[in-house]
Amino acid sequence: MPRAELLPHLFRTEFRKIVSVLGRRLGLDHLQAAEDIASDTFLLAYESWPYQGLPENPTAWLYAVAQNKAKNYLRRQQLFNQKMAPHLAQSTPEAQEPELDLSEKNIRDSQLRMLFALCHPSLPAEAQVGLALRILCGFGIEEIADAFLTHKETINKRLYRAREKLRQQHFTPEVPSETEMSQRLASVLTTLYLLFSEGYYSESHNLVLREDLCLEAMRLTYLLIEHEPTNRPPVQALLALMCFHASRFAARKNGIGDLILYQDQDETRWNQELIAKGTYYLHQAARGSTLSKYHLEATIAYWHTIKVDTPEKWEAILQLYNQLLILEYSPVAALNRTFALAKVHGNEKAIPEAEKLHLIDNQYYYVLLGELYQKMDVEQSRRYFQKALALAKTPHDQHTIKHRLAAL
């Protein structure tokens, strides 16, 4: 790897490991300190490596520096408590200075514990995703702000409030007990689902697909799969869903970054290895009596790996959306269900169902109506596409809708 690319690569891969291990060692009361230590470690590398040359083992160098900085932090905290605030001793990490365990096993275990801590149900969903991006994925504040289409100041405030919540509630980075697992695991899966969706349906001004967000969500879901107590059917179904969607990454955008719609994608560019992996995990998820929204969405995504339109395909997809809406209603699922209804029973029957949704602030609602009216009333179709264009948030969405208008 070229020297100029090495440090950014290490920041992406090692920052999250260092913070997770330090967060577990110091406790969530000192999560900000763990992040600061990791950041200072990389700052020192950025300042010294160009002049002193690359260490023989850059990763080991980072771990050693982080360990020394952690020891210094513990000494300062102990000295402060002894001289200034002895009543705070209980909230301070232990004073002894054992070696930080940065083995792969402890890193995985620390990240898993941190995942459950950061996805505590008492934290807002956007704070959970933000903290996961920062601490477990190694994303910078600017990257997180870009993912949420907001400013760095907003993200800093959001993360600060979330850290304060963790500190005040004295949460510990640990995998919950068997009795707490179902509730906490549901929150974790929601966070990972939102993280993947943030990348797959990116509204970034520059990208239609943030593959890095999707891959980080998949990596964290693999952590749950590898840990026997959390290797449960909903987790397997979520990973299957991610694999099916990720299999179309290469075919989903063109050379200039514009979105390629499903029906226009070159299926020879679909990743068959990921489709096979998704199929495997979907079969694994079928064991037992659990039926989650991830099972239904993954099965819908599986049907979309079959490009050829058949009545059986769309009838199956329609019935799956019917089940999904009963299990957990969402406007997006309702819109997609209406599209499947049109495929099975025709546009004339689907239009009244679509209009009942009345999602007047949703650009995709008007896109769907524009499509349904194309062969029945071109002027009405044009009006709906124009309404969609007025609501489009990104240049890519605007370009796609203008293309459809031109085709009319």
Burial of residue 23, with CB atoms counted within 10 A of its CB: 0-12 exposed, 13-18 middle, 19 or more buried: buried
Q: What is the band of 45 on the pLDDT scale with cuts at 50, 70, 90?
A: very high
| 329 in a structural domain | yes
Q: What is the band of 87 on the pLDDT scale with cuts at 50, 70, 90?
A: low
| 240 in a structural domain | no
Looking at mean pLDDT, say which of 177-186, 206-215, 230-239 comes out highest. 230-239
Residues in CB range of 356: below 8 A, 6 or more apart: none
| 33 in a structural domain | yes
> How many alpha carbons fall within 13 Å on the CB side of residue 100?
27
At 393 the pLDDT is: 79
Among 2-16, 107-121, 194-208, 210-224, the least confident range: 194-208
Q: What is the band of 387 on the pLDDT scale with cuts at 50, 70, 90?
A: very high
Rounded to whole angstroms, how far apart are CA atoms 171 and 168? 8
| CATH at 375 | 1.25.40.10
Q: Domain boundary at 57, 73, 89, which?
A: 89
**Is pLDDT above 70 for 109?**
yes
| 270 in a structural domain | no
Among 74-83, 108-117, 317-326, 333-342, the least confident range: 74-83
Domain total of the chain: 2
Rounded to whole angstroms, how far apart are CA atoms 65 and 78? 20
Q: Please give the distance of CA 74 from its chain centroid, rounded to a whole number.
A: 33
| 31 in a structural domain | yes
Q: Domain boundary at 89, 108, 136, which?
A: 89
**Cβ-contact 383, 401 below 8 angstroms:** no
Q: Domain boundary at 67, 89, 111, which?
A: 89
Three-state DSSP state, 259? strand
Domain of residue 337 covers: 325-408
**Is pLDDT above 90 for 293?**
yes
**Is pLDDT above 70 for 204?**
no
Average pLDDT, rounded, for the chain: 88
Q: What is the band of 269 on the pLDDT scale with cuts at 50, 70, 90?
A: very high
Q: Please give the distance of CA 288 from its chain centroid, rounded to a whole number.
A: 27
> Tokens 């990763």 appear where?
59
At 94 the pLDDT is: 54
Higher pLDDT, 199 or 155: 155
Rounded to whole angstroms, how far apart are CA atoms 190 and 119? 9
Q: In terms of Cα–Cα distance, which of 202, 208, 196, 200 is closest to 256?
A: 208
| 408 in a structural domain | yes
**Cβ-contact 14, 62 below 8 angstroms:** yes
| 274 in a structural domain | no
**Cβ-contact 299, 320 below 8 angstroms:** yes
Q: In terms of Cα–Cα distance, which of 242, 232, 155 is closest to 197?
A: 242
| 21 in a structural domain | yes
Percent share of the chain, pLDDT over 70? 92
Percent share of the chain, pLDDT over 90? 53
Q: Indicate the pTM of the whole model.
A: 0.84
